[in-house]
């Protein structure tokens, strides 16, 4: 069983105990657990897919949107990708014990600043079972224990995956309770998890604004929000329009149900009449429903698009809907992004270095792209192996939350009998 204790407090206490052993575990032992996890994912793929099929067939999944069902669905290819992702994490350098700084003090003390694990990470997430594996792999390699709390409609999938990791930990001689899974027992359980002071060192909620608000109301443990992504693509007057079409479509369509998909397309007024009919045709062929401001609708040509209301500019659709606006300058685009974005990922398409620099400096976001899709904000793409989520906060971590974002540091001073006078 993935859950080894009957209450949230007992589960967190078990993880805390395991975290102490994992914090001092060798890189070889942690990598062995990860290699065993990857192997077991491949060997037990049929078992995982059977559990996932049961989740998809359950009435609890009946009301999910198409985007959420896509997130929930596992395939042989997705299971294989999970195994490969675990191997990538195993191949990365171990962050624990990394020397960040070293100096000799006036007292003669040799002072080192060393990277150490945080302790117990709790992650609350929706729909995507692969998050179970990504999170477990990152915390194992970074020397942390993890308490996983997934969606009730992914209960069987998450249980099968967590059981595999726990088995791999035991195989490597590490404590199974370094990975524990809560069954998703409603808001009461969530509130209890968010108040486990002394046991949970960091809580990371992955989900929409509703989950964020629910955590904010009750949390007494430190929280890092893997928040929503209301992302924009801005096509500047000096853009290569064919490039802009490819980027705009990719940012919206390649996987619309994820947080780094674009939700708004901003087009410079100087090129709107030439650009909008073509890109709207591309988007329409891909099944996207665009809504726009008055100028975007006027430049849409024969395609005709609906009118955007005030809420559209602030909405993370997580589906095939897109808000389209026309702006007069880079400054106007920056102002719009900062007024409506969530600080996740923003893109400009332009041949002008000056415009690119103005946009990159002006937008308040964790990731900014020049002539590239927003879809690259991802721990795997950034060379982190995987991610627990994308932080839009500014303290401790910003952007993809990888292994180093799951560590803190301590000072270790070595002396030869010094005392302070």
Q: Provide the pLDDT for residue 185.
A: 63
* Predicted confidence band of residue 225 (pLDDT cuts 50, 70, 90): confident
Per-residue pLDDT at 74 exceeds 70: yes
Q: Provide the pLDDT for residue 184.
A: 62
* Predicted confidence band of residue 5 (pLDDT cuts 50, 70, 90): very low
- How much is the average pLDDT of 266-280? 97
Q: Provide the pLDDT for residue 4.
A: 42
Per-residue pLDDT at 65 exceeds 90: no
- How much is the average pLDDT of 377-404? 87
pLDDT tens, 148-183?
999 888 999 999 999 999 999 999 999 999 999 997
Output 210 or 23, whichever has higher pLDDT. 23
Q: Provide the pLDDT for residue 110.
A: 97
Per-residue pLDDT at 106 exceeds 80: yes
Q: Provide the pLDDT for residue 63.
A: 84
pLDDT tens, 347-368?
999 999 999 999 999 999 999 9
Per-residue pLDDT at 390 exceeds 90: no
Q: Provide the pLDDT for residue 216.
A: 87
The average confidence (pLDDT) of the chain is 93
pLDDT tens, 236-245?
999 999 999 9
Q: Is the pTM of this model over 0.75?
A: yes
pLDDT tens, 16-58?
999 999 999 999 999 999 999 999 999 999 999 999 999 999 9
Q: What is the 3-state secondary structure (H, E, C) of the chain?
A: CCCCCCCHHHHHHHHHHHHHHHHCCCHHHHHHHHHHHHHHHHHCHHHHHHHHHHHHHCHHHCCCCHHHHHHHCCCHHHHHHHHHHHHHHHHCCCCCCCEEEEEECCCCCEEEEEEEECCEEEEECCCCCHHHHHHHHHHHHCCCEEEEECCHHHHHHHHHHHHHHHHHHHHCCCCHHHEEEECCCCHHHHHHHCCCCCCCCEEEEECCHHHHHHHHHHCCCCECCECCCCEEEEECCCCCHHHHHHHHHHHHHCCCCCCCCEEEEEEEHHHHHHHHHHHHHHHHHCCCEEEECHHHHHCCCCCCCEECCHHHHHCCCCCCEEEEEEECCHHHHHHHHHHHCCCCEEEEECCCHHHHHHHHHHCCCCEEEECCCHHHCCCCCCCCCCCCCEECCCCCCCEECCCHHHEEEEEEEECCCCCCC
Output 255 or 127, whichever has higher pLDDT. 255
pLDDT tens, 133-152?
999 999 999 999 999 999 88
Domains plus CATH for the chain? 8-226+388-414 (3.40.605.10), 231-376 (3.40.309.10)
Question: Of 9-18, 181-190, 387-396, 408-417, which range is least confident?
Answer: 181-190
Q: Provide the pLDDT for residue 6.
A: 64
């Amino acid at each position: 069983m993935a859950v080894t204790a009957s209450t949230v407090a007992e589960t967190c206490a078990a993880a805390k105990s395991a975290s102490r052993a994992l914090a001092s575990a060798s890189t070889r032992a942690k990598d062995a657990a990860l290699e065993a996890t990857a192997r077991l994912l491949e060997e037990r793929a049929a078992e995982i897919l059977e559990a996932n099929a049961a989740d998809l067939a359950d009435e609890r999944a009946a009301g999910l949107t198409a985007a959420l069902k896509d997130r929930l669905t596992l395939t042989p290819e997705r299971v294989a990708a999970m195994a490969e992702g675990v191997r990538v994490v195993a191949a990365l350098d171990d962050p624990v014990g990394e020397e960040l700084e070293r100096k000799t003090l006036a007292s003669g003390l040799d002072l080192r600043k060393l990277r150490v694990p945080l302790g117990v990470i709790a992650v609350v997430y929706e729909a995507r079972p692969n998050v179970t594996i990504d999170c477990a792999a990152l915390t194992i390699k970074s020397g942390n224990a993890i308490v996983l709390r997934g969606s009730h409609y992914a209960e069987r999938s998450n249980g099968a995956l967590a059981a595999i990791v726990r088995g791999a930990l035991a195989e490597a001689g590490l404590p199974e309770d370094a990975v524990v899974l809560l069954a998703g027992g409603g808001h009461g359980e969530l509130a209890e998890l968010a108040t486990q002071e002394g046991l949970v060192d960091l809580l990371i909620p992955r989900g929409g604004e509703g989950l964020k608000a629910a955590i904010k109301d009750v949390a007494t443990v430190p929280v890092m929000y893997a928040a929503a992504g209301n992302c924009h693509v801005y096509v500047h007057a000096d853009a290569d329009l064919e490039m802009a079409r490819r980027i705009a479509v990719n940012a919206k369509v390649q996987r619309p149900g994820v947080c780094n998909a674009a939700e708004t397309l901003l087009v410079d007024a100087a090129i709107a009449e030439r650009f909008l009919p073509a890109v709207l045709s591309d988007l329409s062929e891909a099944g996207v429903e665009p809504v726009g401001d008055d100028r975007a609708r006027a430049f849409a040509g024969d395609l005709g698009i609906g009118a955007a209301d005030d809420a559209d500019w602030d909405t993370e659709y997580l589906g095939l809907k897109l808000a389209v606006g026309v702006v007069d300058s880079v400054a106007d685009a920056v102002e719009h992004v900062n007024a409506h974005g969530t600080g996740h990922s923003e893109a400009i398409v332009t041949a002008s270095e000056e415009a690119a620099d103005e946009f990159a400096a002006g937008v308040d976001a964790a990731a900014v792209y020049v002539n590239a899709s927003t879809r690259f904000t991802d721990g795997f793409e950034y060379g982190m192996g995987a991610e627990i989520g994308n932080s839009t906060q500014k303290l401790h971590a910003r952007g993809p939350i990888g292994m180093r974002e799951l560590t803190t540091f301590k000072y270790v001073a070595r002396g030869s009998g010094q005392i302070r006078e």
